[in-house]
Structure 1
Amino acid sequence: MSLLTGRAARPSTISPESESSRLAELFQRAATGDTRAFATVYALLAPRVWAMAEAVTCDHDRAEAAAVQAFEGMWYAAPSCPSEPEAATAWAMKIAVRRSLGAAGDPRRPALGPPATPDRRGQHVRQVLLALPEPQRDAVLLSCYGQLSLGALAFALELPKQDAAALLSEALIHVAGSGLVSKVP
C-alpha cells in the first residue's frame, strides 16, 4: 500500500531484479528502433509512470500528457540509457519524474483549471509533494511511485546509498509531519 495515496500497489509477477534486467535489455533494443521492445517497456512501466503523474499533477489530463511525454522522452533518449539493470530503471523513472513535475507546473501559480476529480486527499498529496525541496521530492517520487530499490534510487539521485537513504528518510519524516500519513504501524 502506498503511504502517499493509500492505494494498493499492483502485484508484480516478476522479481524487481528480473524486471530491471529485462528493462535494460529492452531499452538497448529500443535504442536500435525496436518498437516491440519499447511496447514491452511501456507495459512494464506504465502503471508506475501513471501513478506518479496522477499524484504530482492531481489532474487526469495533465497526468496523461506527462505520461505520454515521459515515454516519448524514454524512446528518444533510449540510446543513452545505462546498460546496468538498476541504473536503467532509475534512468527511466527519473525521466518520468521530470515530465510529471513539468506537467504539474509551478506550485506557486494557480492551476490552469479545476482538477478533473476534485479529491481533497489527492490535492493534499500534490501540495505536500510540491512543497518538498527538489531532492526530497525526487527521492519520494522515485521510491514510492517508481518503486526503485535503494541502489537504483542512489543512482538516480547521483548520491552514495547512505546519503540517498538519509534524504529519503528526511523526506518521509516531512511527509508524515504534514498529516498525510496518520499512523505508521
Structure 2
Amino acid sequence: MLGEMVIDGVDVPEDGSAGDLAADLLVRVARGDQRAFAELYDLLSSRVFGLILRVLVNRSQSEEVLQEVFLEIWQSAGRFVPNRGQGRTWILTIAHRRAVDRVRASQSSTDRDVRAGIRDIGVAHDSVAEQVELSIEGDRVVSALGTLPEPQREALVLSYYGGYSQSEIAVLVKAPLGTVKTRMRDGLSRLRNEMGVNV
C-alpha cells in the first residue's frame, strides 16, 4: 500500500497520483458508487472550498456553492472522460464556473434592485463596474484556457484556481519541476496571445 503525504490539507498518495485517483473515483461515481463519492469529497473538498472562497470571499456563500459543486459532480460524473484530462482539473473547473455564476447571479440581483429603486441611491457605481469588468475578464480567461494543450491548461488551473505551488504541481502530475515551469510559462504566453495582451 502506498504511503500518503499531506499537501495543503489534501492527502495525496506518495506517487502523486491524486489526479489519477480523482479520475478513478469519478468513473465509480458515474456508476452510482456512493462510497467513491465520499472518498472523492474527502480527497478534494478542502481544495475546492479554498478555490470557491477565493472567488466569493463570503464563507457562507462558499459553503453553499461547495455543496452545489459536489451535487453537480454526483449528477454529471458520467460526462467526465478519463482520457481527456485529470479528474482534479475537471472538478476545479466546475467549482470555478459555479463560483463565477454565483458572483454573476448576485450582481444581477443587485442590478435589478437598483433599477427597481429598492436600494439606496448611493450604490457604489465604481465597485459595480469593477465587478462586471472582472466577470467579463474571467470569462475571457476561461475561454482562452480551453484553447491550451491539456498539460499547460492543467498546470495553470492547478496553480491559479487550485492554489498549488509549482513544486506541488510537479508531484501531483508526476512531472519534473522544470517541465511544470515550462508548461506554465508557455501556457501563460499562449494565453496572452489568445487574449491579445502585450506584455
What's the TM-score, normalizing by structure 1? 0.59
Instruction: For residue 70 of structure 1, report the CA deviation from its aligned partner.
Output: 0.7
Report the 3-state secondary structure (helix = DSSP H, G, I; strand = E; otherwise coil) of the residue aligned with 1:33: coil
Match of 2:189 among 152, 155, 166: 166
Encode CA deviations 1:118-168: one digit per residue, 9 max, x unaligned: xxxxx9xx9696473424368676532325759x8xxxxxxx987633256
Which consecutive residues of structure 1, in runs of 5 or more, have no partner in the other structure? 1-7, 113-122, 153-159, 175-185
Instruction: For residue 32 of structure 1, report the CA deviation from its aligned partner.
Output: 0.7
Relative to total residues, which structure has the larger strand share, 1 or 2? 2
Instruction: For residue 56 of structure 1, report the CA deviation from its aligned partner.
Output: 1.0
Encode CA deviations 1:64-111: one digit per residue, 9 max, x unaligned: 111111111111111111213843222111111111111223586659
Q: Alpha carbons of 1:11 and 1:36: their partners in 2 closer, same or farther (altered >3 Å)?
A: closer
Encode CA deviations 1:1-59: one digit per residue, 9 max, x unaligned: xxxxxxx9446543584101111111111111111101111111111211111111111
Relative to total residues, which structure has the larger helix share, 1 or 2? 2
Deviates more, 1:31-40 or 1:16-25: 16-25
Q: Alpha carbons of 1:106 and 1:163: their partners in 2 closer, same or farther (altered >3 Å)?
A: farther
Q: Percent identity?
A: 24
Q: Which residue of 1 aligns with 2:161?
A: 145
Report the 3-state secondary structure (helix = DSSP H, G, I; strand = E; otherwise coil) of the residue aligned with 2:96: helix
What is the count of residue pairs matched by the alignment?
Answer: 145
Greater radius of gyration (CA) = 2
Q: CA RMSD in A?
A: 4.1
What's the TM-score, normalizing by structure 2? 0.56
